[in-house]
Amino acid sequence: MTEQDWPIRIATTQAGLDLIDQGMSIFDADLRLVGWNRAYTTLLGFPHEMAYFGAPFESFIRYNAERGDYGPGDPREQVYDRVQLAKVFEPHEFERTRPNGTVLRIRGQPLPSLGFITIYTDVTRERNAERTIREQNQKLESRVEARTAALVRSERRMRLIMDSIPAMVAYIDPLGRYEYLNQQYETLFGVSLASNPALNALDIFDMATIRLLRPHLQRALAGETVSCEYELKAKNGLALYVRTTLVPDFSQGQVVGCFALTFDLSEQRRSQTLVARAQKLESLGQLTGGIAHDFNNILTVVIGNQEAIAQHAADDPVVQEYLQPAIRASRRGAELIKGLLSFARRQPLRADHVDVRLLLGQVAQLVRRSLPKRIDLQLGEVDAALPAAAADPSLATAPMTAAANAGPPPPLWAWIDPMLLEQALINLVLNARDAIAAQGHIRLQAGAVQLDEAAAQTLETAPGAYVRMEVRDNGSGMDAATLSQLFDPFFTTKRPGRGTGLGMAMVYGFVKQSGGAIDVSSTPGEGTRVSLWVPASEAPEPDEGPEPAPAPVHTGLALLVDDDAEVRGVVRRQLRELGYAVVEAGSADEALSLLAKLSEVRLLLSDVVMPGTLDGRDVAARARASGRVASVVLMSAYAPGAVGMRGVPTLTKPFTRAELLAAIERGHDEHAEQSGRAG
């Protein structure tokens, strides 16, 4: 090659280097530029005229420092540091991002002559792509994390929901093993999947329940949604009436298991039973009340005439021999009708403040003589924390008698008819006695309770303060069929001749009429508990005693009001025997007319229920308002709702002359009190 060829070769080489995308620079041992290409000045942003043969390395570093390529700092120090570093001539490789965003990869390599060559590669696109990939990966990871967290939250929420709903939820695999149980399921049956992963129905339920459920589970695992209601009995002793729905779980057209959703219907079934019983008893009450009304009017005539005959033929033993059994039979009929009226909630009540603790002690004294020695009668205290209608008759109770150093327990006041309450409790104790065939015990107990809305609704009464009484025994108990008929009139489990079948019906009617509630729980072979709730009351005001009233005078004019002429005939005779002259009225309108005309009426004796828009209470109210009638008395075979009216004595038909006289005297007392208040 001739000397003339070198410029051509150099120009050709330079032209080739200028076509390369990568920048290139060669500095000699004195750090002077001896080789470069166009990409070098272009990539690093140098003016092309700066690159010339022999250009010092420091000039390029100073240019970069002055325009801020190296960031904040003293440009002189930045230049000095970099020049000193370059003099070491060591291999180096790094990346630098220029202010315009261009990313350069710079790789320097020393030359044998102590110079170095540096290659500059624009990696902006690669780094942007990598950054984009990283950002996308981060976004994807964030989305996966967020989705995972959402799934975890969703699973927690679902478990919380499953554990909070009032139902037992389970998932069963095709082999009958549980794969999931919610908290209520595990709590009620005392099991745990964590401690027994192979848990199945045999570990939870008795065989009768399993035999009942097996065909339904088979249908569900065959792809059919199934619902059933049944008596569930568990191995831990739990017994419930439930409804279970089995829903098959499909995956790719195949059943891989089923969901089991079970609701406890025990309380609902109990409420339905109570409502049905109340409706049935209400219908029976209306029927028996109507019958009792007619029979009482008939018996009023029969007994009145029988007593009149007995009085006029008192010295005739033949007449008395036939008449006295008839009177006694009529009286028994009257008592039977009284029982029907009690069941129908139409008997007259004489409510008063009653200390239930004291009354229970009196009842215990009365019935102890009727109990065989093998039966122990106990007094106790009802736990106010117990639910309104607990199912277990064996729940423990506290003794009613206080400790010796604590003094007697405070009175437990209720607003109730004391005589009828005593009769009801005696009836319940004697029923408990008859249910105990061998050694046993009967427990009488009472306590103050507060019924909230839910408890009151269950018992079909109003919320508020009540006194709860219980009669409990460990006798033979009753099955569900017997319990369903317990309050029906004339239903009895006793042998013929041992009872009328009206006892429990009378207790039911009396308690409901008093504004209370009654509940019976019983288990065959374990015993029975009868619970009564009656309205609580405040302690009565101290009774200073009324001033003595003058003895009533049973003379003057009596206005007798009744729509039944035969009843009027009997009562008229009784009034005349007491010394009254009698004026009769067959309706309330006629009685009001006579009251307006006769100013000398001393006694008003009126039936309550009569045909027409007005009744005996309207007549009694008019007579009391006039202030002229010395005694106002009502009588009734029955009166719907509240019998009679406040401040007016009420006689229940049939009644004797002595009962009539006592009512008239009470009427005189009421008139005297009314006159005193008015004065």
Share of the chain above pLDDT 90, in %: 24
pLDDT tens-digit readout, 78-93: 999 999 998 888 898 9
Asked if residues 430 and 370 have their Cβ atoms less than 8 Å apart, the reply is yes
Question: Which one is predicted more confidently, 297 or 420?
Answer: 420
How is the chain split into domains, by residue range? 13-122, 165-264, 352-535, 556-678
Percent composition of the chain: helix, strand, coil (DSSP 3-state, to 5): 45, 25, 30
Nearest-Å Rg of the Cα atoms of the chain is 52
pLDDT tens-digit readout, 24-40: 999 999 999 999 999 99
- 266-312 and 565-578 helices cross at what angle (nearest 10)? 60
β pairing state of 254-264 and 464-473: unpaired
Q: Which residue has the tokens 């025990």?
A: 266
Q: How many CA atoms lie within 13 A of 75 on its CB side?
A: 12
Distance CA 586, CA 166 (A): 63
Distance CA 157, CA 298 (A): 72
pLDDT tens-digit readout, 315-337: 778 777 767 777 777 776 666 66
pLDDT tens-digit readout, 447-463: 999 999 888 888 888 99
Residues 6+ apart with CB under 8 A from 270: 389, 458
Give the start-end residues of each E strand in 271-430. Answer: 352-355, 375-381, 398-399, 413-416
What is the predicted pLDDT for the residue at 543?
56
The residue among 399, 306, 309, 403 whose CA lies nearest residue 360 is: 399
pLDDT tens-digit readout, 476-514: 888 887 887 777 766 777 665 455 566 787 788 788 888
Instruction: Please say if the pLDDT value at position 122 is more than 50.
Output: yes
Task: Provide the token pair at 563.
Answer: 């729509």
Residue 96 one-letter amino acid: R
Asked if residues 621 and 647 have their Cβ atoms less than 8 Å apart, the reply is no
Neighbours of 613 (CB within 10 A): 7
- 57-66 and 75-86 helices cross at what angle (nearest 10)? 150
Rounded (10°) CA dihedral 364, 368, 374, 377: 10
Task: Tell me the mean pLDDT in the region 200-211.
Answer: 90
Q: Is the torsion defined by CA of 637, 640, 643, 645 positive or negative?
A: negative
pLDDT tens-digit readout, 274-295: 666 666 656 655 656 566 667 6
Asked if residues 575 and 664 have their Cβ atoms less than 8 Å apart, the reply is no
Q: Which residue has the tokens 């249910």?
A: 435
Confidence bin at 188 (pLDDT 50/70/90): confident
Classified as helix, coil or strand, 121 is strand
What is the predicted pLDDT for the residue at 280?
62
- CATH superfamily, with its number, for domain 13-122: PAS domain (3.30.450.20)
Q: Which residue has the tokens 């004797």?
A: 656
Question: Which one is predicted more confidently, 301 or 71?
Answer: 71
Instruction: Please say if the pLDDT value at position 341 is more than 90.
Output: no
Task: Tell me the mean pLDDT in the region 177-197.
Answer: 88
Asked if residues 416 and 532 have their Cβ atoms less than 8 Å apart, the reply is no
- 317-343 and 266-312 helices cross at what angle (nearest 10)? 160
- CATH superfamily, with its number, for domain 352-535: Histidine kinase-like ATPase, C-terminal domain (3.30.565.10)
Task: Tell me the mean pLDDT in the region 97-118.
Answer: 88
Task: Tell me the mean pLDDT in the region 61-77.
Answer: 90
First-last CA distance in the chain: 157
| Dihedral-angle region of residue 398 (phi above 0 means left; psi in -120 to 50 means alpha; beta otherwise) | beta
Residues 6+ apart with CB under 8 A from 86: 27, 31, 57, 116
Asked if residues 451 and 531 have their Cβ atoms less than 8 Å apart, the reply is no
What are the angstrom distances between the C-alpha of 206 and each of 202, 237, 259, 326, 418?
A: 7, 9, 21, 61, 48
Neighbours of 353 (CB within 10 A): 15
Instruction: Please say if the pLDDT value at position 6 is more than 90.
Output: no
Confidence bin at 427 (pLDDT 50/70/90): confident
Instruction: Please say if the pLDDT value at position 640 is more than 70.
Output: no
Residues 6+ apart with CB under 8 A from 157: none
Distance CA 40, CA 22 (A): 7
Confidence bin at 395 (pLDDT 50/70/90): very low
Distance CA 382, CA 398 (A): 7
Instruction: Please say if the pLDDT value at position 311 is more than 80.
Output: no
Instruction: Please say if the pLDDT value at position 467 is more than 80.
Output: yes
Asked if residues 438 and 473 have their Cβ atoms less than 8 Å apart, the reply is no
Confidence bin at 439 (pLDDT 50/70/90): confident
Least confident of 85-99, 373-387, 582-596: 373-387
Instruction: Please say if the pLDDT value at position 150 is more than 70.
Output: yes
Local structure of residue 548 (DSSP, 8 states): P
What is the predicted pLDDT for the residue at 400?
44
Residue 50 burial (CB < 10 Å; 0-12/13-18/19+)? middle
Least confident of 63-77, 160-174, 185-199, 581-595: 160-174
Distance CA 352, CA 543 (A): 13
Average pLDDT, the chain: 82
Asked if residues 536 and 416 have their Cβ atoms less than 8 Å apart, the reply is no
Distance CA 280, CA 484 (A): 11
Confidence bin at 418 (pLDDT 50/70/90): confident
Asked if residues 199 and 180 have their Cβ atoms less than 8 Å apart, the reply is no
Give strand pairing partners of 444: 379, 471
Q: Is the torsion defined by CA of 236, 238, 241, 247 positive or negative?
A: negative
Asked if residues 602 and 558 have their Cβ atoms less than 8 Å apart, the reply is yes
pLDDT tens-digit readout, 532-560: 999 999 888 765 544 444 555 567 899 99
Q: How many CA atoms lie within 13 A of 674 on its CB side?
A: 20
Q: Which residue has the tokens 């003595």?
A: 548
Neighbours of 99 (CB within 10 A): 12
Distance CA 591, CA 188 (A): 68
Give strand pairing partners of 245: 227, 261
What is the predicted pLDDT for the residue at 336?
62
Task: Tell me the mean pLDDT in the region 139-150.
Answer: 84
CATH 1.10.10.10 fits 556-678, yes or no: no
Domains 13-122 and 165-264 share a fold: yes
The helix (H) or strand (E) run that includes residue 344 is none
The residue among 437, 435, 450, 432 whose CA lies nearest residue 378 is: 432
What is the predicted pLDDT for the residue at 626?
84
Confidence bin at 402 (pLDDT 50/70/90): very low
String of DSSP letters for 577-591: HHTEEEEEESSHHHH
What is the predicted pLDDT for the residue at 642?
44
**Between 3.30.70.60, 3.10.129.10, 3.40.50.2000, 3.30.450.20, what CATH number should domain 165-264 receive?**
3.30.450.20
Residues 6+ apart with CB under 8 A from 87: 31
